[in-house]
Amino acid sequence: MKTELRAYMLEQLKKLLAIDSTTGDCREIEAYLCEEIARLGYTPRRLHKGGVTADLGGEGNGLFVTAHVDDIGLMVRRIRPDGSLWVARIGGLHPFMCEQANARIHTRDGRVYTGVLRRANPSLHLMPPGEREATGDFDKNVFLYLDEDVKSAEDTAALGIRCGDFVALAPETVFCPSGYIKSRYLDDKVSAAVLLTVMRALREEQVSLRRHVTAYFSCYEEIGHGGGTGLPEDTMDVLAVDIGCCGPNNDTDEKKVTICVKDAAFPYHVDMVNELLAAAEASGAAHVLDMFLPSYSTDANVAIRTGRDVRHGLIGPGVLSTHGYERTHIESLEATYALLREYVAR
């Protein structure tokens, strides 16, 4: 991978991670993507419900490549009597993955406040044994405490905070000298950064595409309705670029790209999987085949469920601790880039 493209990919990842984009409120990141896509020389299209597409060129046998930029997060449910906040989760964010996390609350009039998620009785020294062992629960014992001088519900309401305000966890991004990258929301901004980099490479290298390719940056993947939108009429194949899940019973690796053969919904199309495998081998991308069970799905599955006559596939960089404080490696991004660059040009 060219040095300038690697630097661009990491720069884009850093910028995307810095933008709060909880599912349901992706306006800022959509605006950023439109600006960046135009800078790359493409014409962005902002969809009515949310999300951004770009026509990369080519004719016939349409390929629709999607990566999502929405994040799991929270929403203010109610102000508690002491001024702290009851929250409701958006997408697959679980309390045990975010206790003690810093957060940002976005009010409807544009103000941003910070806070932290913690127990109502947060000091370990003051917790009786049963409370120490209790499971975290957003309804019962994990609340959002503001970094403001509030002592009552009236104090918090006076700040302009109310039911329905979006809450984003601070990503806490770290780029390690060893090449490891730690952050919340690598899922799926890491893939979005790879897709942007492929788009830049295609334009700079003046690649003549052999099929019509459309890039789609989805904003509703985490709640299950991102992938049935914006497909051109000639779409034949839908490729999701989403994270691979590292675990004790999986072969996915933080330094490789995964080609997924099955997830919790159903198998990916066998011929498309074979084509992706051939592209990985041709590009020299370090890769594995894997399946993600029991609770994984993608925007490519949504396209299938809408009844479109398309094949679908999934590739993505290996990520550890998914939906928590995640980690991957630059080599995994490079491998995903190599495979995707090879596949879209075929």
Q: Is 242 annotated as a binding residue?
A: yes
Cα end-to-end distance, the chain, whole Å: 18
Q: For residue 194, count other CB atoms closer than 10 A to its CB.
A: 30
Closest CA to 331 of 189, 181, 206: 181
Q: Are 24 and 166 in contact (CB under 8 A)?
A: yes
Q: How far apart are CA 225 and CA 185, in angstroms?
A: 19
Q: Of the residues 99, 131, 205, 221, which is catalytic?
A: 221
Per the annotation, the verdict on 221 as an active-site residue is yes
Place of tokens 């919790």: 264
Q: Is the bond preceding residue 177 a cis peptide, omega within 30 degrees?
A: no
Q: Is 55 annotated as a binding residue?
A: no
How far, in Å, are 181, 218, 342, 345 from residue 64 at the CA level? 28, 12, 15, 13
Rounded (to 5) percent helix, strand, coil in the chain: 30, 30, 40
What's the number of CA atoms in the CB half-sphere (13 Å) around residue 20?
A: 20
What's the number of CA atoms in the CB half-sphere (13 Å) around residue 346?
A: 17
Closest CA to 296 of 240, 337, 340: 240
Q: Is 109 annotated as a binding residue?
A: no
Q: How far apart are CA 60 and CA 69, in angstroms?
A: 27
Q: Assign 10 to helix, strand or coil.
A: helix
Closest CA to 142 of 162, 167, 164, 161: 167
**Can you say which residues are annotated as belonging to the binding site?**
68, 187, 222, 242, 323
**Can you say which residues are annotated as belonging to the binding site for Zn(2+)?**
68, 187, 222, 242, 323
Catalytic residue set: 221
